[in-house]
Amino acid sequence: MLKKVILWYNHSNYTHGTYVPAVKGWEAPMETNTEYTDKELAAERLANASFVLGIISLVSVLCCCPFVFSAIGIILALLSKGAEQTLRPRAKTGLILSIVGMVVSVVLLVFTVVFPVVMYTTNPEFKKNIDQEIVNSLEQQEDLFRQTYGDDLYERMLEQFENGGGF
């Protein structure tokens, strides 16, 4: 009985599969096209870079600048397409991960920056609570300054500016 099996062949750091008929006890010589153009290798490397940057953009959402990783990942995925009709699977995955990273970043930006600003300007109770917290924080800093230096913070600031100096 003839079955088709996939034999994986590794050549020049590029893995691809070919179909070869297999008969029990007999192995057919494997003939594959192992010649790849520089454009194909470059496209594969761009796809891999896009995939890695897509993962980094998801991981970096909470700790640093994911917009940069997402944008570069999207660009590299699109560049890896070249003149082909479709994206390579790894480039497609990198594109999806980068887009998800970008969307999550935008949503977090809205909730951490835009939402509080809108709440501060439109909700008087929220503004009152924030202003009170700012006053409490300034009073704590002034008490700490007084305990540390034995001086009043505002008097010290006025002296510095009257003498023509800064801090």
Indicate the SS3 state at residue 113.
helix
Could you tell me the residue ranges of all domains in the chain? 38-113, 123-162
Per-residue pLDDT of the chain (167 residues; tens, 9 = 90+): 333 333 333 333 444 554 444 555 555 555 555 566 788 888 889 999 999 999 999 988 877 777 899 999 999 999 988 878 888 899 999 999 999 999 998 888 888 888 888 998 999 999 999 999 999 999 999 899 889 888 887 888 888 888 776 55
Residue whose token pair is 């500016």? 161
Write a three-state SS string for the chain.
Answer: CCEEEEEEEEECCEEEEEEEEEECCECCCCCCCCCCCHHHHHHHHHHHHHHHHHHHHHHHHHCCCHHHHHHHHHHHHHHHHCCCCCCCHHHHHHHHHHHHHHHHHHHHHHHHHHHHHHHHHHCHHHHHHHHHHHHHHHHHHHHHHHHHHCCCHHHHHHHHHHCCCCC
pLDDT at res. 153: 79
- Strand intervals (E) in the chain: 3-11, 14-22
pLDDT at res. 32: 55
Provide the 8-state DSSP code for 61: G
pTM for the full predicted model = 0.57
